[in-house]
Amino acid sequence: MPKNSRPLRPVSPATQPVGEQMMGHNSDPVRALRPATQLVRGGLMRSNFDELSEAMYLTSGFVYDSAAQAEATFAGTETHYQYSRFGNPTVSMLEGRLAALEGAEACRATATGMAAVHSAMLSHLKAGDRVVASRALFGSCHWIVSTLLPRYGISTEFVDGSDLAQWRAALSRPATMVLLETPSNPMLEIVDLRTVCDLAHQAGALVVVDNVFATPLLQKPMDFGADIVVYSATKHFDGQGRVLGGCVMGSKKWVDEVLQPFIRNTGPSISAFNAWVILKGLETLHLRVPAMCRSASTIADMLAERAEVARVLYPFRADHPQQKLAMAQMSAGGTLVSFDIKGGKEACFRFMDALKLIDIANNLGDAKSMATHPATTTHMRVGAEERAKLGITDGTVRLSVGLEDVADLIDDLAEALDAAAS
Ligand SMILES: *Cc1c(COP(=O)(O)O)cnc(C)c1O
């Protein structure tokens, strides 16, 4: 038997463009298919063993038929997997599936969402560059912009994401990169993607959108002009609390020439095992996310009726300050609801401790519903002054709505609100 008698078919290099990704026996490009089909079949590559499910290639390295094949592979004249830090067939399947869903030319999966954000930025930026970011970012993204980038001689500036005048002022000078999140964590602020992308491009900047809260099912930032989209796959993509993961999507040229050399040489690569778990998670994303959105919307309405609640933030509710913009950019309001409990931290902690079903946790996008107190956890380190600018109070709760029966969630919330008031 020849050494490599069972090649994958189709053999897909780690950098294969999505348009050429095939699904099994069918030769239609995945891009032409609808999202639910892409989530189940996108990126699929079968080996000659004809397995039904995506295979998990738990291997750090790959072997060559000959020394000449190894030479040709390293010279780039032959396509062959080399080492799982550069590419791995299970990881390629995940990348193919995510790129097909997003409608992006290329995707690289990473070990975590933060590895994705960090790689997207550091692969592109150098000393002397300038970054403009919305203030309302995930805590670690905020740290990268406020603390890490300036250490390398990159100047950074924060703006209020919902204030176009601040974006206009900041982007009236040349910039290299813009980072934003919409809806934002935890106050569900919406950034006008089209306008900010136009301003950023006029300033010479690439726009990076952290689309974790919306997921690719609810919002496609590239349709509004975004150049790069990043995700934490830890959240809705896995969606069942098992593994960490992330991904970066962009043009094939940028991914091949800018991102891939950075990933190849610095090693934020995802393990084949975690990639496989996320691949299987994606197969139900189109069922989970709409169900979670429906429950979140019902819960937001229920909370708004309660005297113990000072304010509810949910992007599709009429009382959200940017409802119109949210509805123009997203197809549903999302899986998170934020709200303020009257009586500050004490009442808020009474409420959280009285929850019997909903867990106290700082994760989100999971089948299990979770409540977070941002002021003392995820946003503790940004400081009181920055929290005040973001609108986070000591009574703010961020609720990630899961897949339990919504009636049980409402009972749990109602009883805990009774407890908060007593
Ligand atoms: C969780 C999260 C991240 C970071 O992802 P990890 O997988 O935890 O590294 C980045 N941005 C947003 C909006 C997130 O919710």
- Residues 26 and 236: their CA atoms lie apart, in Å, by 28
> Can you give the residue range of the structural domain that contains 171?
113-233
Residue 295: CATH number of its domain:
3.90.1150.10
Q: How far is the CA of 74 from the centre of ligand 1 (A)?
A: 34
Flag whether 268 is in a domain: no
Q: Mapping DSSP to helix (H, G, I), strand (E, B) and coil, where does residue 231 land?
A: strand
Are both 215 and 298 inside the same structural domain?
A: no
Are both 290 and 417 inside the same structural domain?
A: yes
In the chain, the number of structural domains is: 2
Q: How distant, in Å, are the alpha carbons of 351, 360, 372, 398 from that of 419?
A: 6, 16, 17, 18
- Residues 81 and 62: their CA atoms lie apart, in Å, by 6
Q: 354-380 as b/e, with b when 16 or more CB fall inside 10 Å? A: bbebbbeeeebbbbbbbbbbbbeebbe
Q: How far is the CA of 415 from the centre of ligand 1 (A)?
A: 31
Residue 136: CATH number of its domain:
3.40.640.10
Q: Mapping DSSP to helix (H, G, I), strand (E, B) and coil, where does residue 273 land?
A: helix
Are both 229 and 169 inside the same structural domain?
A: yes
Per-residue pLDDT tens digits for 294-319: 999 999 999 999 999 999 999 999 99
- Output DSSP code: residue 23: B
141 Cβ inside 6 Å of ligand 1? yes
Are both 306 and 414 inside the same structural domain?
A: yes
Structure tokens at 415: 């009883």
For the chain, give me the number of helices (H) and strands (E)? 17, 12
Q: Which residues contact 76 (CB under 8 A, 6 or more apart)?
A: none
Q: How distant, in Å, are the alpha carbons of 80, 214, 387, 394 from that of 380?
A: 47, 24, 8, 11
Contact indicator for 338, 186 with CB cutoff of 8 Å: yes
Q: How far is the CA of 64 from the centre of ligand 1 (A)?
A: 38
Backbone angles phi, psi at 244, to 5 degrees: -95, 150
CA distance between the termini of the chain: 76
Tracing tokens 């509805």 back to the chain, one arrives at: 327
Per-residue pLDDT tens digits for 223-238: 999 999 999 999 999 9
Flag whether 387 is in a domain: yes
185 Cβ inside 6 Å of ligand 1? yes
> Which pTM value belongs to this model?
0.93
Per-residue pLDDT tens digits for 365-406: 999 999 999 999 999 888 899 899 999 999 999 999 999 999
- Residues 338 and 356: their CA atoms lie apart, in Å, by 19
% of the chain beyond a pLDDT of 70: 93
Flag whether 368 is in a domain: yes
**Residue 1 pLDDT exceeds 90:** no
Other CB atoms within a 10 A radius of the CB of residue 135 amount to 23
142 Cβ inside 6 Å of ligand 1? no
246 Cβ inside 6 Å of ligand 1? yes
Q: Tell me the Cα Rg of the chain.
A: 22
Please, what's the largest Cα pairwise distance for the chain? Answer: 77
Flag whether 393 is in a domain: yes
- CA angle 411/412/414 to nearest 5° reads 65
110 Cβ inside 6 Å of ligand 1? no
- Output DSSP code: residue 51: -
Contact indicator for 145, 138 with CB cutoff of 8 Å: no
Per-residue pLDDT tens digits for 313-332: 999 999 999 999 999 999 99
234 Cβ inside 6 Å of ligand 1? yes
